[in-house]
A = this chain, B = another copy of it.
Amino acid sequence: MNLGSLLYREQRRVDTALRRVLPRPGTVPRTVRRAMVYSLFPGGKRLRPILAILACRAAGGRIADVLPLAAAIEMIHTYSLIHDDLPALDNDDLRRGRATSHRVFGEAMAILAGDALLTHAFEVAASHPGARRNPARATRAIRVLANAAGVTGMIAGQVMDLEAEGRRFTRATLLRIHSGKTGALISASTRIGGIMAGATRARINALRLYGEHLGLAFQIIDDILDLEGHSDRLGKTAGKDLRARKATFPALLGLAASRRHAERSAAAASRHAASFGRRGRPLQAIARFVIDRQS
């Protein structure tokens, strides 16, 4: 299997799903729709929705059943980037190689575009044809999604991250920050893939564990790339963590030990994916990709 062509194909699938679920032009005020589209396209790696698709397929589900949820997941990820970049939060000018939303549309519209993407994600998750056919499954997916995005997940991570800036931090704090900021939505993505496939509890749990280990590996590599990387390759401002005295793995353990930690996490993720046999192989390839990536 060629991972590059798999990622390319799935990214296109996610883009198509996103275009399909966006509100039609003319049905909503033009500016806010433009701001939503600006941050959604062209996207980043589309890692989270692709994981939801691959997890659904690993569990024997049909891709069509998970696609609206994959789009909802990417909308929630995008909202969180827009709000995190705001002047009152990380105050960043650059994202995915372009000016951040508030630099282009102003702060008011960036706040509203983020709110709109977050809200629209739940509308999509409750409105697709599968949600009418199987509302129990849809409700469960919404529960997992809201829990990951909410105050015990992504928002907790963001709050702890802000509060840890410039302070001494422990490994336990750092793990909680990372599990909230990145792990929560990544493992929600793989769980939702399993839920929409109608998988057993045990299989959904294996997908959750895969996602948790993968999320940690992903975030540690993110920290390392921020430290080593170049802004033009990353598409966002490099070296910011160090300047903002953020709680990161390299700051706690150094670069070499951080990379070893990420590799152990990715290997653990891969073992959980292996329990799905041949169908789990794309998830294993993603675990390798997360470690090897340069941006």
Contact = CB atoms under 8 A, between A and B. Distances in A.
Nearest to A89: B108
Contact of A115 (B116, B139, B155): B155
A228 interface: no
B36 A151 contact: yes
A27 interface: yes
Given A88-B106, A138-B139, A152-B27, A159 B32 contact: yes
Nearest to A76: B119
Interface stretch (A141-149, A237-245, A277-285): A141-149
A156 interface: yes
Given A32-B151, A108-B89, A135 B146 contact: no
18 contacts: A28-B151, A29-B163, A83-B111, A88-B106, A88-B108, A88-B111, A111-B111, A118-B118, A119-B150, A120-B146, A122-B122, A123-B146, A125-B142, A126-B139, A132-B136, A132-B139, A135-B136, A135-B138
Interface of A: 23, 27-29, 31-33, 36, 83, 86, 88-89, 106-109, 111-112, 114-116, 118-120, 122-123, 125-127, 131-132, 135-136, 138-140, 142-143, 145-147, 149-152, 155-156, 158-160, 162-163
Given A126-B139, A131-B143, A132-B136, 20 more contacts: A27-B152, A28-B156, A31-B159, A32-B156, A33-B151, A86-B111, A88-B111, A89-B111, A112-B159, A119-B155, A120-B150, A122-B146, A123-B143, A123-B147, A126-B142, A127-B143, A131-B139, A135-B136, A135-B138, A135-B139
